[in-house]
Each structure stands twice: as C-alpha cells, then as structure tokens.
Structure 1
Amino acid sequence: MRTERRTPLNRARVLDAGIALADTEGVDALTMRRLGGTLGVEAMALYNHVANKEDLFDGMLDRVAEEITLPDVDLPWRDYARARAVSAHTTLMRHRWAAAMWTARISLGPARMRYMDGALRSLREAGFPAGLLDLTYHAIENHIVGHALQAQGFPLEAAEMTAMGEGFLRTFPTDRYPDLAAHIRHHLDHPTGDDFEFGLDLILDGLERMRAVT
C-alpha cells in the first residue's frame, strides 16, 4: 500500500495559503484553524512557521510587496516613481485586503524595506532636498494606497452602478443640481477610465516643478 507523500510545510507555503484565503474570502475569514484546514494540518502546526497571527499578517503583506516590480535604478526619478507606483497600485488592487493593512501595519519585512528604500534613494539622487523629499514620497504613497482603498470600498459593480444610476437620474432634481447630474451621466456613459494614472501624473508633474525651483 503506497502512502501519499505530503509536501513539507514551510513559512512560504503558510503565507501563500493565507494570501489565497484572504484574496478569495476576505482577511476577516482568515483564522489559524481555517488556514490549517486549507493546508491539511492542525492549527498548532502553523506555529512552527509563524509566531502568531500578527506575524502571519506581516509575512503575508511582505509576500505581496515582493510582487511589486521595482524599476531600473538608472531611470530618471519621475519614470522610476511612475513605474513603481503603477506596479504597487496594481498589486494592491489584486489583493484587495492589502491596502488597509499596508497603512496599519508598521512592522516592515525585507520586501517592503526594499520598496521604500528604492523610492527614497531615487528621490535623493534626483536632488530633492530633505523636506521636499519626505513630502514627495508620502504624496505618491498616499495616492497609491488611498486610490486603492477608495476603489475597493465602492459598493457597486459596474452593472449595478449603471442600473442604480439610471434609476437615480429619473428622480434626480436636475434643474437644481445640473452639474452633479451631468457628472453622474458622464460616469454612466464612460464607465471606465484610468483615473489613478491621471492623478499620479498630476502629482508627479507638480513635484517636478517644485524640485526644479529648489
């Protein structure tokens, strides 16, 4: 009788299983017992690879950070910042639980430290003075994470938004609020748009002008 060999459990497998569970069912569904069940082990076996649930979350977040593509270090600061921001935003949108955790968890793993250090180095080498450098870094990061949180927090899917919006406009006092009505109509007629990159470019253009006069 052959015994099926089980893939050995390790930290990477535990973290990846946690990410998969959070992606499909939400981070609130992630318990050590549930995670152990998906891996075919008792919850206590997980503690050989993660110290506790906080360590699990920190490790999961750093695994997500590993998915962010860091641009070539020789790129001009604006190109570096833009490519990094687009990749980071795409990653946070792929893992919809991660944006809120990105700002809430202050324990940094190696992948997040590389991500942050690369951004700060690029700005320093571009000649940003210390004060403006700090403001620049946070302005870009706030746009990445804030936009993801807003996009993920919107309660309606595209089809639901269309149906709700059309019904809303039929009873909306357009004569009193014509510009708001036009705004809603625009969203219904143009349901897609790359507003993240539009806002990002505005921020980067403004920061470049500030850098040039300092």
Structure 2
Amino acid sequence: MAQQSEAVHRAPLNRERVLSAAVVLADEAGVDSLSMRKLAQELGVVPMALYKHVANKEELLDGMVDVIVGEIDTRPTGSDWRSEVRQRVLSAREVLLRHPWARQVLESRTNKTPVVLDYMDSVIGMFRAGGFSVDLTHHVMHALGSRMWGFTQELFDDSQSAPVEVPPEMLQIMAARFPNIAEVAMAGAHDDGSVVGQGCDDQFEFEFALDLLLDGFERLHQQGWTSARR
C-alpha cells in the first residue's frame, strides 16, 4: 500500500484518482470508515483539494458507484437474450464480491447517475432486443430488481451481524416451535461463511433464483403475456 501511495502522490490530482483511491480505501476498511480527511491523507493532499473534484461525501459515493459499475462486463456476446442477461447479472455479482461495501452504497443511492442509468438502460435493452414487449419488460424489471446488480435480499440473510452461538437445547425448542423453518433452514449443502444462511452455498442459491426468473420470463414471452390479461 505504501508503494501504491507513493505512486499516487506523484500523479496529478483529478477526479479519477480521487474515486479510485476512495474505492481502494473502502475495499480495505469498509465504506463506513471512509472520510474526506482519510482520503486526503491517502492522496497526500489537504482535504479542501478534494472538493475541486467532488462536491461532498454524497457525490464521492455516487462516483464510487460509477467506478464499480464500470467494472461490470457489458460486452455483447452475440447470444440469445437469456444468456446475455444471465452473463450480465453474474458479472455484476463478481464485481460486488470484489467490493463488499458496494451493495450498501448502491442501496443508499436516491439519485441515479448517468453511468447507472446507462447500465439500467442496457439491461432493459437486452429484453427489448429479445422481442419482449414494453409491458412485459416493465414487469420483468420489477421482478429482477436488485439481481440486476448481482445481489438480492435473502430469507436467511444474516450477513449484517456476527454469527451467534445458540445452545443445542434452544435449537431443539425452536425446531419444535417452528418445525417448517427449521427443516428448510437446515436442508441442503452447507459451507462456512455464507451470507445467504449458515452453510448455504451463496452462489448456487443466487444462480438458482436467477434461472427460475429467466425461465419464467421466457415462458411469459412465448405466451404473449400482457398485464391486461393477467
């Protein structure tokens, strides 16, 4: 990190440098610890120098989102719409896994930057190019939701809190009181460190749900579904 900082200090300060350094700091210590003061220290400048390139912390976060959206592979593959959408979503997921703070920032943004709007427009365009009507595409985008960015809120998501050790006797009581939840929560393959649920395979669960949605979209498209006939 020291060598990187020395190289950064020799380069002229610009918006790209500011945003890139902010992303690195968020990757290393989390976005909650990011401040204009720390960013200025990393860049070897006084904090006021940053405001020539970003007006405030909110604009800094918007710019950081633009940086990570720019890492998503948006190159056309020449495949059918389903393969195109699937690849795009999984590429977005790879980016978010590289930048764990990004989900929190994406969810907090109330104003969409042109970079974000371009990305959303391109996703919509893949469905339209696949022959989807405007009506169906509208509802498809609602259903796709945050999966467009590579994440979704899971039923058993405990990623925002540390694991809690539950005594075996308490687990037995809970299983007796809520048998269906217990049965489903404990089913399937288990890996440590999951953010879907203790032991669940995050990537498998994400792709499973994504494929269910894409299959459903295809079925509705083939049926000529419209909201007026639902």
TM-score with structure 2 setting the length: 0.76
- Given candidates 126, 129, 152, the residue that maps to 1:125 is 129
Q: Which residue of 1 aligns with 2:187?
A: 186
> Conserved in 2, the CA contact under 8 Å of 1:100 and 1:149?
no
Q: Once the 2 structures are TM-superposed, how far is the Cα of residue 69 of structure 1 from its aligned partner? A: 0.8
Q: Which residue of 2 aligns with 1:202?
A: 212
Q: Which residue of 2 aligns with 1:84?
A: 88
The separation in 1 between residues aligned to 2:169 and 2:64, in whole angstroms, is 41
The separation in 2 between residues aligned to 1:11 and 1:152, in whole angstroms, is 36
Partner SS state of residue 72, structure 2? coil
1:42 equivalent to 2:43? Answer: no
Query: For the structure 1 residues 208 and 30, does the alpha-carbon distance in structure 2 shift closer, same or farther, using more than 3 Å as the test?
Result: same
Give the gaps of 5 or more residues in structure 1. Answer: none
Larger deviation, residues 44-53 vs 146-155: 146-155
Q: Which has the higher helix share?
A: 1
Give the gaps of 5 or more residues in structure 2. Answer: 1-6, 192-198, 225-230
> Conserved in 1, the CA contact under 8 Å of 2:94 and 2:150?
no
Q: Once the 2 structures are TM-superposed, how far is the Cα of residue 58 of structure 1 from its aligned partner? A: 1.3
Q: Which residue of 2 aligns with 1:55?
A: 59
Q: Once the 2 structures are TM-superposed, how far is the Cα of residue 146 of structure 1 from its aligned partner? A: 8.2
Larger deviation, residues 22-31 vs 173-182: 173-182
Write the mapping of 1:1-214 to structure 2, written as runs, cut at 5 A.
Answer: 6-72=10-76, 74-103=78-107, 104-110=109-115, 112-145=116-149, 147-148=151-152, 150=154, 153-156=159-162, 160=163, 164=165, 167=168, 170-186=171-187, 189=190, 191-193=199-201, 194-214=204-224
Query: For the structure 1 residues 177 and 28, does the alpha-carbon distance in structure 2 shift closer, same or farther, using more than 3 Å as the test?
Result: closer
Letter in 2 for 1:199: A
Higher relative CO (CA 8 A, sep ≥ 6), structure 1 or 2? 1
Partner SS state of residue 70, structure 1? coil
Letter in 2 for 1:143: R
> Conserved in 1, the CA contact under 8 Å of 2:80 and 2:130?
yes
Query: For the structure 1 residues 152 and 61, does the alpha-carbon distance in structure 2 shift closer, same or farther, using more than 3 Å as the test?
Result: farther
Q: Percent identity?
A: 36
Query: For the structure 1 residues 118 and 13, does the alpha-carbon distance in structure 2 shift closer, same or farther, using more than 3 Å as the test?
Result: same
The separation in 2 between residues aligned to 1:125 and 1:170, in whole angstroms, is 51
CA-based RMSD: 2.8
> Conserved in 2, the CA contact under 8 Å of 1:67 and 1:91?
yes
